[in-house]
Homo-oligomer: A and B are copies of this chain.
Amino acid sequence: MGLSPTTVSRLPVYLRELELLSQAGVETISSTGLAEVVGVTPSQLRKDLSHLGSYGTRGVGYHIAGLQAQIGRELGTARGWPVVIIGVGNLGRALAGYAGFSSRGFRIAALVDPDPAVIGTVVHGVEVSDLAELEAVITRTKATIAVLATPPAAAQSVVDRVVHQGVTSILTFAATVLAVPDGVIVRKVDLGQELQILAYYEQRKSEEVVR
């Protein structure tokens, strides 16, 4: 076992679409059909699913409920992973209010912020803790996943603290490059980076006209 990173990154998408299909009452789907709704090629989909030792039926297709269960198991969606969100500005609030949170197997174990005006308030059902108590919060909640919605300047120091407390997976929205020890996984979402990538292709399109 051990799926390739690219396969892992597609599984959540498959799972999401399978949920929609099963809600719509569909019971079985072919690789071609599912590939179309998720936007990949049928062979890619079949290869991905074959890595999970999957349950397709030749001549028929995939049994949706079974496939959901299998992917869900692979991603650990039943575990209700406790997640700590650090930074309760607009971004932190948006994340806290994200509807898919619990349906995808997570729960907000704590919200943390340094602002006295925010500490103690309740956001989406969770009381905001003081950033000064970050260590205690992580110990108490046993969270191993942290989401960083802090200003970039604060990110590295927060990372150091949560890693020291046993967090091994970090999702950061700060643009800074983060240093972490081996074994800690960081995923970065950077608005500026995404826009600049789009701008590159946008510029190429306009240059093409000139050429």
Contacts and interface: CB of A to CB of B under 8 A. Distances in A.
A90 B192 CA distance: 18
Interface residues of A, number: 62
Contacts of A191: 95, 98, 100, 171
A158 B100 CA distance: 21
Interface string A155-193: 000000000000011110001010000010101011111
A126 interface: no
Q: How many copies does the complex hold?
A: 2
Contacts of A75: 196, 199-200, 203
Contact of A93 (B90, B195, B198): B90
Interface of A: 2-3, 8-9, 11-13, 15-17, 37-39, 74-77, 79, 81, 83, 89-91, 93-95, 97-98, 100-101, 104-106, 144-145, 147, 168-171, 175, 177, 183, 185, 187, 189-205
